[in-house]
Structure 1
Amino acid sequence: MLSLSVVILLAIAAFVFAFWWQSDKIKRMTVAYVRRYCRHHGLQLLDQTTVLRRIWLGRDEDGFLQIGRRYQFEFSTTGEQRYSGGISLLGTKLLSVETEAYAIPSD
């Protein structure tokens, strides 16, 4: 028979694993969102990744508690200068994508 402390440790380990698994899935989804955004606006996503900057708890439109995440990414218009952008999600729902002002290359 398992003792209560073993059951609690297993539950904590399961929670940590589930959180990590979900976070990895959301990060991959976020990179896909950013790639699509950059492609649509004629930008180059640099380093092909996003960096987690903030986590918070928030409620979705149905009132359910969700984990919010804010990621940062870098992009370029010509490959010469780096610009910063950010993307926010609540659960798996995209809230916003923001970029700093960037130079539009002349043709």
Structure 2
Amino acid sequence: MIIDIVLISLLIIAYLYWFSAQQVKSIALKATKQHCLDMNVQMLDDYIALNGLWLKRDKIGKIHFWRSFQFEFSSTGNERYNGQIIMFGCLIESIQMEPYRLS
């Protein structure tokens, strides 16, 4: 009986983490698309990939997930460049792009 309760609790925790991660990824993808539009480049593959995951404290000491996502973009349509978006909890910490050729 206790094993069942522990197993169900672990499944619920895993689902809540997955659901939260999907929300953060959705926010990051939307912000990345908008940033690419603002920079007048094309986001390739319409996809971001999780590159890193850490626990980090905010200014008041609360622990949040720090996530790093990678994406690819092109300025001319011929070359592929890499970019990175950093999320701290549900907030965008930074968006960085490799130097790229202007068309």
TM-score range, shorter chain: over 0.9
Q: Percent identity?
A: 28
RMSD: 0.7
1:3-82 to structure 2, matched below 5 A, reads 3-82=1-80
CA distance in structure 1 between the partners assigned to 2:92 and 2:59 by the alignment: 13
**Cα shift at 1:54:** 0.5
**Cα shift at 1:31:** 0.5
SS at the partner of 1:79? coil
Letter in 1 for 2:73: F
SS at the partner of 1:81? coil
Letter in 2 for 1:7: I
Q: How many residues align?
A: 103
Kindly name which structure, 1 or 2, has the bigger radius of gyration based on alpha carbons: 1
Please state if 1:95 is matched with 2:93. yes
- TM-score, normalised by the number of residues in structure 2: 0.96
**Cα shift at 1:62:** 2.5
CA distance in structure 2 between the partners assigned to 1:41 and 1:64 by the alignment: 34
SS at the partner of 2:55? strand
Unaligned runs of at least 5 residues, structure 1: none
Which gives a bigger RCO, structure 1 or 2 (Cα 8 Å, sep 6+)?
2
CA distance in structure 1 between the partners assigned to 2:31 and 2:101 by the alignment: 22
Large movers: runs of 4+ above 4 Å: none
Unaligned runs of at least 5 residues, structure 2: none
**Cα shift at 1:61:** 2.3
